[in-house]
């Protein structure tokens, strides 16, 4: 006798690389049982541009325009880590003013990055309007960048030994204006988003990562701090002048999408605090190492010599990276952005290994989306905050 049996076919859905909420060109092969996600496999490589290999036949200055294309929403961090690696290997001292300018730029970049995380995250869970508000604020950050660096996104502003140009006249006041403007807007977001019951239902308890898992998966940044690990490189291993700044590490223990939202919103406020402190403490003086040495050496300084003057048809002297290897890391908005550099003493690195936070954080996605709904997959993916430019490099 034949029995009537029910058989549920699994639907294998290829989300992406062309899909509205795949944050660029991520492709997820999702196995669906009805609306439930049974399995999820990320497929990477659609934006691979050989960023590590390119570094091996460029000098650092030649390579700097490329690095803003890793994480194109938090560009200052990629530049910072690129120049900090050879600086530390060659023991190049940075003038204090340059260090402050770098920190201000990095924190502004963190604000821009977190704002452009919030907008698409809200679109992922179906609210379109916050995106435009986030862009309105981000535009002001980019205006500041444009005034200081000449470019809005791909600034190419950091140099070994300092920054490419000093802050223009009036920039500090404009930056202060922005610091007084943004907190009110963040209050606005709180009223629009945080207190919205539909938003809370969509993200609360969704995509939970336990503390131990977060550490074992090697997560970093807000993903780690939302799971109850108050680990921030700015505090744990301070670089530049972070040790002089007064700020709190944003962290919570829930480990869900809402916790990651809170951590990032808190980081926005902390960044504002840090920028204000930097603007208060901003010293005068040279903004670049050679400039500093030239001023210190007086008119007879070797940096005033013919080698370092601009003479047509004469190529400027090159910077050779000392032989050796070094790992350098900064706390980027997405997590720990690291460079492992091996040099054989030539002008370009022998090996240039990038540790992108988005790539490492993305690994945990298949684990936390199991048995969630398809709509949760988008909320979780949004809360991970990936940029395919740095995931694929």
Least gap, CB of 257 to other proteins (angstroms): 12
List alpha helices for the chain, DSSP H. 51-55, 60-67, 75-90, 96-124, 129-149, 171-189, 197-203, 211-216, 222-225, 233-236, 257-281, 289-297, 357-362, 365-369, 374-384, 388-392
Among 33, 50, 57, 201, binds other proteins (CB under 8 A): 201
In 3D space, the residue among 95, 93, 97 whose CA is nearest the CA of residue 284 turns out to be 97
189: contact with other proteins by CB under 8 A? no
Q: Of the two residues 194 and 346, which places its CB atom closer to other proteins in the complex?
A: 194
| Residue 209, H or E segment | none
Least gap, CB of 132 to other proteins (angstroms): 4
Q: How many CB atoms lie within 10 A of CB 196?
A: 13
The answer to whether 219 and 335 are in contact (CB under 8 A) is yes
Least gap, CB of 387 to other proteins (angstroms): 17
Least gap, CB of 43 to other proteins (angstroms): 17
124: contact with other proteins by CB under 8 A? yes
What is the torsional sign of CA 385, 260, 330, 283? Answer: positive
- Span of 197-205, 237-245, 269-277, 284-292 interacting with other proteins by CB under 8 A: 197-205
Q: Tell me if residue 160 falls in helix, strand or coil.
A: coil
What gap in Å lies between CA 303 and CA 312, rounded to an integer?
Answer: 17
As a dihedral over the C-alpha atoms of residue 288, residue 289, residue 291, residue 292, rounded to 10 degrees, the angle is 110
43: contact with other proteins by CB under 8 A? no
Output the furthest CA–CA distance in the chain (Å, rounded).
104
33: contact with other proteins by CB under 8 A? no
Q: Tell me if residue 286 falls in helix, strand or coil.
A: coil
Least gap, CB of 199 to other proteins (angstroms): 5
For residue 263, list its beta bridge partners: none
Among 199, 239, 242, 359, binds other proteins (CB under 8 A): 199
The two tokens of residue 314 are 């004469």
Least gap, CB of 112 to other proteins (angstroms): 18
Among 17, 19, 208, 276, binds other proteins (CB under 8 A): 19
In 3D space, the residue among 127, 207, 240 whose CA is nearest the CA of residue 370 turns out to be 207
Tokens 């500093």 sit at which residue? Answer: 292
Among 43, 44, 92, 123, binds other proteins (CB under 8 A): 123
117: contact with other proteins by CB under 8 A? no
- Span of 12-20, 233-241, 253-261, 265-273 interacting with other proteins by CB under 8 A: 12-20
Binding residues for other proteins restricted to 309-338, rule: CB under 8 A: none
208: contact with other proteins by CB under 8 A? no
What gap in Å lies between CA 234 and CA 96, rounded to an integer?
Answer: 17
129: contact with other proteins by CB under 8 A? yes
Q: Of the two residues 18 and 314, which places its CB atom closer to other proteins in the complex?
A: 18
Among 63, 70, 117, 133, binds other proteins (CB under 8 A): 133
Q: Of the two residues 229 and 378, which places its CB atom closer to other proteins in the complex?
A: 378
The answer to whether 352 and 341 are in contact (CB under 8 A) is yes
Least gap, CB of 372 to other proteins (angstroms): 10
Least gap, CB of 197 to other proteins (angstroms): 9
Residues belonging to the chain:
393
For residue 283, list its beta bridge partners: none
Q: Of the two residues 20 and 345, which places its CB atom closer to other proteins in the complex?
A: 20
Among 196, 211, 243, 304, binds other proteins (CB under 8 A): 196
Binding residues for other proteins restricted to 365-384, rule: CB under 8 A: 373-378
The answer to whether 175 and 275 are in contact (CB under 8 A) is yes
Contacts to other proteins by CB under 8 A? 11, 13, 19-21, 32, 35, 122-129, 132-133, 136, 192, 196, 198-199, 201-202, 373-378
């Amino acid at each position: 006798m034949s029995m009537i049996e029910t058989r549920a076919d699994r639907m294998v859905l290829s989300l992406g690389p062309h899909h509205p909420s795949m944050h660029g060109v991520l492709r997820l092969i999702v196995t669906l049982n009805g609306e439930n996600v049974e399995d999820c496999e990320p497929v990477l490589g659609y934006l691979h541009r050989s960023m590590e290999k390119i570094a091996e036949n460029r000098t650092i200055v030649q390579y700097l325009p490329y690095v803003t294309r890793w994480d194109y929403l938090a560009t200052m961090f990629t530049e910072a880590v690129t120049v900090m690696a050879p600086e530390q290997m060659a023991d190049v001292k940075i003038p204090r003013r340059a260090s402050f300018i770098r920190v201000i730029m990095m924190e502004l970049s963190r604000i821009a990055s977190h704002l452009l995380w919030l907008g698409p995250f809200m679109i992922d869970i179906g609210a379109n309007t916050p995106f435009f508000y986030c862009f309105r604020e981000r535009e002001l950050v980019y205006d500041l960048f444009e005034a200081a660096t000449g470019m809005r996104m791909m600034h190419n502003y950091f140099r070994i030994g300092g920054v490419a140009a000093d802050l223009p006249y009036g920039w500090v006041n404009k930056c202060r204006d922005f610091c007084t403007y943004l907190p009110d807007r963040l209050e606005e977001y709180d009223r629009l988003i945080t207190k919205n019951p539909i938003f809370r239902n969509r993200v609360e308890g969704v995509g939970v990562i336990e503390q131990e898992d977060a550490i074992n998966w090697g997560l970093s940044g807000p993903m780690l701090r939302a799971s109850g690990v108050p680990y921030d490189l700015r505090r744990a291993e301070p670089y530049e002048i972070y040790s002089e700044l007064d700020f709190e590490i944003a962290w919570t223990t829930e480990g869900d999408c809402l916790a990651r939202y809170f951590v990032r919103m808190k980081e926005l406020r902390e960044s504002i605090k840090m920028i204000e402190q930097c603007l208060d403490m901003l010293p005068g003086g040279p903004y670049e190492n050679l400039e500093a040495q030239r001023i210190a050496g007086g008119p007879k300084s070797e940096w005033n010599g013919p080698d370092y003057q601009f003479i047509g048809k004469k190529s400027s002297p090159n910077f050779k990276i000392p032989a050796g290897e070094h790992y350098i890391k900064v706390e980027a908005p997405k997590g720990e952005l690291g460079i492992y550099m091996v040099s054989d003493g030539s002008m370009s690195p022998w090996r240039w290994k990038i540790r992108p936070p988005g790539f490492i954080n993305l690994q945990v996605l298949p684990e936390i989306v199991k048995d969630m709904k398809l709509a949760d997959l988008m909320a979780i993916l949004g809360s991970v905050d990936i940029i395919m430019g740095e995931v694929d490099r």
